[in-house]
Amino acid sequence: MFRITSLRHKFVLGAATGLVSLSLALVGLAVALYQYQLAQERSQASNEVNRLLQAALENAMLKRDLPGLRDIVARMGRQSGVLGAMIVAPDGEIRFASNPALLGQTFPLEPHGLCLDCPAAARPLGLTTLFTRDALGREVMRSLNPVANRPPCTGCHGQAATRPLNGVMVVDYDAAPIRHQAALSAATLAGMGGLLLLASLLGGAWFIHHYVLRPVARLSAASHALASGHLEGRANLEGGDELAQLGRTFDEMAENLQSLVRRIQEQETFLQALVDAIPDGIRVIDRETLRIVLDNRAYREQIGLPPGQSHSGVPCHVSSHGQGQACAPTLMLCPVHEIEHTGRACKTLMTFTRAEGGKRHVEVFAAPLDSRVEGRDRRYVVESSRDLDQALKFSQEQKLAEMARLATGVAHEIHNPLASIRIALHAMLRAAEQEPERLKVISDYLGMVDGEIDRCIAITESLLKLGMAPSPTPQLVEVNPAVSETLSLLDWEAGERKVAVVPRLATPSPRILASDTELRTLVLNLAQNAFHAMPQGGRLEVSTRQAGDWVEIELADTGVGITPEDARHIFDPFFSRRADGQRGTGLGLSICRSIVEALGGSILVDSEPGRGSRFTLRLPDAATRVPA
C-alpha cells in the first residue's frame, strides 16, 4: 500500500488538494455568478424588448390588428438568438406563436410558477427568467412577461379588478451561446486558477524547501550521525526562526552529550587503568546472569588470555573453569552462591583453567557489591584472586631478603674468627723471627687458624645452601646437619632477640628423601616464626627423632601462643598475626605446608595462648621411600 511519509510530498499534496478544492469552488461560484449575471442581463434586455413588444402588441390589440400582432410575434421568433415567441392566454391557451404548430396548444403555466387566476398577492408582477427545455427538447432561457390589463383594454378583456392580466408573453432564447460563454469563462477562470495553483505550489515548495525541508534535513542528518555514534555531528542552522532556534538547541544538546560521553569514556578508561594496576586478579560478576562485567590485566594473565582480550560478558564458570554449566556449590565453594545465601564476604582456594590448558592455583577473596545501573538495582560480586605460584616466587625473593638481613649475623660470626686468625698469624710471625726452637708454638697457631677457617667455610656453606634453588629431584638428606647448620645462621639474631636455642638432635641422624634447600627453608621459617612469637625473649627447643616410618622435626617455643580463632587460618596465604607488632608477608607457614605436603608428610600444631606453640614436621623416613 502506497504511503506518503516525506514532509515535502505531504505538503505538496495537501497544498495541491486545498488549492484545487478552492479553485474548483471559486470556478463554480464564478460560473454561477456569471450565469446569474448573464441571465439578469438577458432578462433586462428581454424586459426592454418585451416592453417594446408589449407596447406594439397593445397598440395592435387596440386597433384589433390581429395580423399585425401575428407578424410581430413571428418576427420576434426570427430574431437572432431567439428560438421562439408566443402569447399565452390566462387559461393557458397559446393564442399567438412564432411556430404555428403551437397555436391552440396549452402552455403549462404552473410548472413555471405562474398562476393568472390566483389572488393578486400570489400573481406574478414582473419578468421571470429561467433555464428550461422547450417542446423540442432544446435548452432555452425562457423569459415570462405577464401582460397587465390596462384601462384601454377593458373593453375586450373586462375590468382590471376581475381580470388583472390579459396573458403572458413567452420568449425562448437559445441557451447554447449562454452556456458556451459560461463554459469559456469557466475555462478562463480555471486556467487562471491553474496558473495561480502552479504559482502557489512553486512558491510554497520553494518556501518549504528553503525554510523547512532543508533545516529539517540537516537536523535529521545530525540526529542520524549522533545515533550512529558520530558525536561530532551538528545541524549548524542559521537564522532566527523556530527551526533555527531548534537547531541551536539541538547543537547544544549534542555538545553536552559529546562532552558527557567523553567524560564517561575518560572515567571508564581511568577505572580500567586503575583496576589493571592492581597486582591481584580482579573480576566483577553479575549475580543474576553470572556474567563478568569487568576484569583486569592480572586476572586475564591468570587465565592465560592473550594481551588485548577481555572476558567481559563471558559467564564466570566458562572464563575461569572452562565449564559450560555453573559450578555445583555442593562440590566446591562458589563465591557467588555463598554471598547469595549469606550476604557476607568469603574466601576460598580455586584452580583456574588456563586458555592453553594449564592450571593456576589461586586464593579468591569475594565481597558483595550493590549498585544502581541504568535506573535498575543490580547486584554484583567482586572477586580478588591471588596467584599462589607468584606468591611462592615472591616468598623466595623474601627469603633472599631475609638472607641479606642474616648476612649481618654471618659477618659478625666471620669477623671474630678472622680477627683470631690475624692475631695468630702476627704471633706466629714474631715467634718465627725470634727462635726457631719455638716452631711448636707456630704449629699450634696454624692448627687454630685452620680450625677457624673451617668454621668460616662452614658458615658460608650453610648460607649458600639456604640460598640455593630447590633441586627438581629428591635427594637423600641428613636431617641433623641441615637443622644444626640452619640454626647456626640464626645465632646472631637469637642473641639479639634474647632467645635461647636448644637443639636436641637424635643419634644417629634421621634421613629423608627431599631437597636440602627445602628442608633448610622449613627449619628457617619455623624458627623465625618462633622468634617473632617471643618479642621479650624466651626459649626455643629444636629436636629431631625417629618415629616408626616417620622422621619428626619439632620446634617448641615459649612465646605468646595462638588463639583458636587464628589457628584455623595460620596456613592461609597472606594471613599474618606477628606478636612483635611487625607486618609479615603471611606466606611462611603456607610455604611450609606446601613443601611438607609435596614431600608426602604433614605439619602439626599444638598451641595455647600464653603457653607457647609446638610445630611438628612429620616426613616419611628415607628407608620407607627407597627399596632395601
Q: Which of 362, 388, 414 is the last residue of a domain?
A: 388
- What pLDDT is attached to residue 121? 46
C-beta separation of 544 from 621 below 8 A:
no
Q: What are the CA-CA distances from residue 340 to residues 261, 365, 368, 372 (Å)?
A: 34, 15, 9, 18
- What pLDDT is attached to residue 617? 93
State which residues of the chain have pLDDT below 70.
1-12, 14-15, 18-19, 26-64, 113, 115-127, 152-162, 182-183, 186, 189-190, 193, 389-416, 418-419, 422-423, 425-473, 573-575, 579-587, 625-628
Provide the 3-class DSSP secondary structure of residue 612. strand
Torsion on CA atoms 308, 309, 312, 313, rounded to nearest 10: 140
Statement to judge: residues 118 and 246 lie in one domain: no
Q: Which three cell numbers stand for residue 13?
A: 499534496
Alpha carbons 182 and 350: distance in angstroms, whole number: 102
Statement to judge: residues 244 and 110 lie in one domain: no
Query: How many residues can be counted in the chain?
Result: 628
In a domain, 492, yes or no: yes
Q: How many structural domains compose the chain?
A: 4
- What pLDDT is attached to residue 47? 60
In a domain, 459, yes or no: no
Starting at the edge strand found earlier in the chain, the sheet holding 602-608 runs 499-504, 538-547, 550-557, 612-620, 602-608
Name the DSSP letter for residue 319.
H
In a domain, 32, yes or no: yes
In a domain, 576, yes or no: yes
Statement to judge: residues 162 and 252 lie in one domain: no
**Which residue range is the domain that position 380 belongs to?**
283-388
Statement to judge: residues 366 and 481 lie in one domain: no
**Cα 476 vs. chain centroid, distance in angstroms?**
64
C-beta separation of 512 from 544 below 8 A:
no
Statement to judge: residues 175 and 50 lie in one domain: yes
Statement to judge: residues 497 and 625 lie in one domain: yes
Statement to judge: residues 265 and 298 lie in one domain: no
- What pLDDT is attached to residue 126? 65
Residue 172's CATH number: 3.30.450.20
Statement to judge: residues 30 and 140 lie in one domain: yes
In a domain, 435, yes or no: no
- What pLDDT is attached to residue 627? 47
Alpha carbons 553 and 617: distance in angstroms, whole number: 5
In terms of Cβ atoms closer than 10 Å to its own Cβ (0-12, 13-18, 19+), residue 529 is: buried
Conformation bin of residue 450: beta by default, left when phi > 0, alpha when psi is -120 to 50 = alpha
Query: Which tens digit of pLDDT belongs to each residue from 72-118?
Result: 888 888 888 888 888 888 788 888 888 888 888 888 877 776 766 66
Statement to judge: residues 168 and 69 lie in one domain: yes
Mode of pairing for the β-strands spanning 538-547 and 499-504: parallel
In a domain, 355, yes or no: yes
- What pLDDT is attached to residue 206? 80
C-beta separation of 86 from 94 below 8 A:
yes
Statement to judge: residues 117 and 249 lie in one domain: no
Statement to judge: residues 22 and 169 lie in one domain: yes
Q: Which of 388, 409, 436 is the last residue of a domain?
A: 388
- What pLDDT is attached to residue 556? 94
Statement to judge: residues 310 and 339 lie in one domain: yes
- What pLDDT is attached to residue 217? 85
Query: Which tens digit of pLDDT belongs to each residue from 411-424?
Result: 566 666 766 776 67
Q: Which of 368, 388, 408 is the last residue of a domain?
A: 388
The structure's pTM equals 0.42
- What pLDDT is attached to residue 285? 94
